[in-house]
Amino acid sequence: SDAFVKQGWRFDSSLRLKMNKINREHFNLSGESENENWVAGFEEGSRKRIMKQSENSPEFEELLAKIDFNSLREIFSNIAEKSGVDSEKINFLNPERISNSLSSKEGERMAEFSIMENIIYASHEEIKRYSSDMGLNKDLMVLQVLCHEETHAISYTSCVGLKEFIRNKNGVIETQSGFSIGTIQKENESSQFNSLFRFFDEGVTEKIAREITSEYLDKNPDFSKTENVKEFEDVLYSKKGKMPYDGSVLFLEGFIKKIGLAVGLDEETVWHAIIRGKIEGINFNDTEFKNSFSEMFPPNFFYDLSKVSSDGQMFNLIERLDLRENIKNKPSFSEKIKTWISDLSSKIS
């Protein structure tokens, strides 16, 4: 729709980015910003309804009370400010927007951030089950899962067509969450959800969340007295399949390394640029973006990246990626990309 074109990043001829400083937006189908009072009313109504459905779990409530959300918000605010987003306006969710209402059936998701309702759904039972299976401390796992979902929440998000969808009980909603782009389509009783770049975005989200979890534990000695903290942090960074999204994080780190080698930048600089891109809303599906980077990446790379749906597909994609070969005879282009990434990264460093 016209609204989707208005989002995120736009490039000029020098690859300088014109950044969108609002990191949570709603549009109607005609492309206009949705009425803020309507959005606030919808989110509050959703919160009240969902929290009533939340499964009563004194253990979960006690653990939420143990987490210092002010300290956690401060860590997220620091990242947002470095990306040019007002820390007072970041979409950090306090406990009143965290609902223990996901299905507790074995094998279900541990948590999920809802772009439309602005709620974190969790399943404390599933988190405990996963922790037990992997030999991890369940309280630390709750902290890590919440850091992951809060990272989704404070990233750039947009929703197009929600009001019309609610009114008509049918139609299409277009969403963006960080690098992930999605559509929700409903016709009569049939619903369909499609997403692009989801695995890449989950890798970025998880890598940020792991860094935030470690920082939180460093700054909160009371919580860090929890049993087996060191073992948990070792697992966070070992990427041996014990943590969710280990495959996506491994792919991301390979991606970062290959970009750094290709243009002569250290991995930390490339990583900081990706963090800022997620928070400010870079859109890999943007035609200008793809055209700007067409000399660097193989044909169809971003198309293939958008469709990845398994660890095997990700590893195959990164193994085939040879950026140095693509730009070895294009020094001016390489320098332009290097400057762009350095500028993007500079405030995060």
What is the side-by-side strand order in the sheet with 111-114?
98-99, 119-122, 111-114
pLDDT at residue 39 in the model? 95
Contact 144, 130 (CB under 8 A): no
pLDDT for residue 349: 55
Q: What percent of the chain has pLDDT over 90?
A: 58
pLDDT of residue 20: 45
- 296-325: pLDDT as tens digits: 888 889 999 999 989 999 999 998 888 877
Report, as an integer, the average pLDDT of 322-333. Answer: 79
Percentage of the chain beyond pLDDT 70 is 91
**Taking Cα atoms as reference points, which of 151, 114, 148 lies closest to residue 130?**
148
Per-residue pLDDT for 274 more than 60?
Answer: yes
Better pLDDT: 337 or 50 = 50
Cα–Cα dist 331/327, whole Å: 7
Q: Classify residue 68 by burial, with Cβ atoms within 10 Å: 0-12, 13-18, 19+.
A: middle
Asked if 180 contacts 198 with a C-beta cutoff of 8 angstroms, the reply is yes
Render pLDDT for 283-295 as a digit per residue (tens, 0 to 9): 998 888 887 787 8
pLDDT band at 228 (very low <50, low <70, confident <90, very high): confident
Residue 18 pLDDT > 60 = no
Is the pLDDT at 140 greater than 90? The verdict is yes
Q: Specify the pLDDT at position 237.
A: 87
Q: Are 240 and 246 in contact (CB under 8 A)?
A: yes
pLDDT at 342: 85
What is the band of 268 on the pLDDT scale with cuts at 50, 70, 90? very high
Q: Write the DSSP symbol of residue 87.
A: G
Instruction: Give yes or no for residue 92 having a pLDDT over 70.
Output: yes
Quote the CA–CA distance of 120 and 145 in Å, as a whole number: 10
Mean of pLDDT over the chain: 87
CA distances 312 to 251, 252, 284, 288, Å, are: 10, 14, 21, 29
